Amino acid sequence: MNQNATEPVAAAESLAEVPEHVLRGLPEEVRLFPSAVDKTRIGVWATKPILKGKKFGPFVGDKKKRSQVKNNVYMWEVYYPNLGWMCIDATDPEKGNWLRYVNWACSGEEQNLFPLEINRAIYYKTLKPIAPGEELLVWYNGEDNPEIAAAIEEERASARSKRSSPKSRKGKKKSQESKNKANKAEDTPLKTSEPDSASANMRDSAEATVSAWRPGVLLQPPRTSPGSVGMSRRRLQPSSRDPSSKSRHLACSLTAPEVTWSQ
């Protein structure tokens, strides 16, 4: 019996299907080409050198409740203190941006990006310099990697200094005054039981946080907890629910010889 017969076959993505707005939003150092880690996927490739510490983002997608998300592959879960876990879902290419096409790394050596949550938005930051001809590959390893912990601390410090700058304090005071006015005028409380993107956006601007997810923070048991995977481990484990995990394990390499790089 063919054991693969029951496995879902992921439809191959084609470059021709990538929405115009995604192509327009690509930073100048990267282009989309077929991925080397998963033949059915498009990947993001450096065409110019990218420095260590470069931050890309935010990751764009539909804001949804967990129960509304059908597929894990293109979504990030973010915790809102008052709302619980919400998802940024870029399953629909029309709703996402180019970061949707950045694939998981297969190993610690291949990882060149890590995700970073700032104010409930996801950014990808480079862990090392990326040379032209390399595919951008992200992995989540929380703050277990000292380099990532340092980068997160740097972001926290910068968020703190922005918050305490006189300009920001003035802006905050003004926005609090106008919020008070609006609340008085409408006299309606904020909706918290049914989270929607409008109330989520309001909270976005309310306070600044920077985090990488820690294993203990992950709520969904079926998802492999990548936070428990350190850099010392050779093979990383993609999410157990990703349909394409297997193929990605088999086909990891970082250069695509068929691609010529325009400088």
Ligand X SMILES: C[S@+](CC[C@H](N)C(=O)[O-])C[C@H]1O[C@@H](n2cnc3c(N)ncnc32)[C@H](O)[C@@H]1O
Taking the complex as a whole, the smallest distance from the CB of residue 179 to ligand X amounts, in Å, to 29
Q: Does 73 bind ligand X (CB under 6 A)?
A: yes
Question: Residue 30 interacts with ligand X (CB under 6 A)?
Answer: no
- Say whether 107 sits in a helix, a strand or coil: strand
**Per CB under 6 A, does 54 bind ligand X?**
no
Q: Which residue is nearest to ligand X (CB)?
A: 239
Query: Tokens 């790089």, residue?
Result: 261
State the nearest-atom distance from the C-beta of 74 to ligand X, in Å: 5
CA distance 152 to 227: 15
Q: Is residue 103 a contact residue for ligand X (CB under 6 A)?
A: yes
Q: Residue 154 Cβ, how far from ligand X at the closest point, in Å?
A: 20
Could you say which residues in the range 120-159 bind ligand X, by CB under 6 A?
A: 138, 140
**At a CB cut-off of 8 Å and minimum separation 6, what does 118 contact?**
58, 155, 159, 208, 209, 210
Euclidean distance between CA atoms 176 and 163, whole angstroms:
14
Copy the structure tokens of residue 130.
């990326």
Q: Candidates 14-22, 102-110, 160-168, 203-211 — which segment interacts with ligand X by CB under 6 A?
A: 102-110
Contacts of 188 (CB under 8 A, 6+ apart): none
Residues that bind ligand X (CB under 6 A): 72-77, 102-104, 138, 140, 213, 218, 223, 226, 239, 242
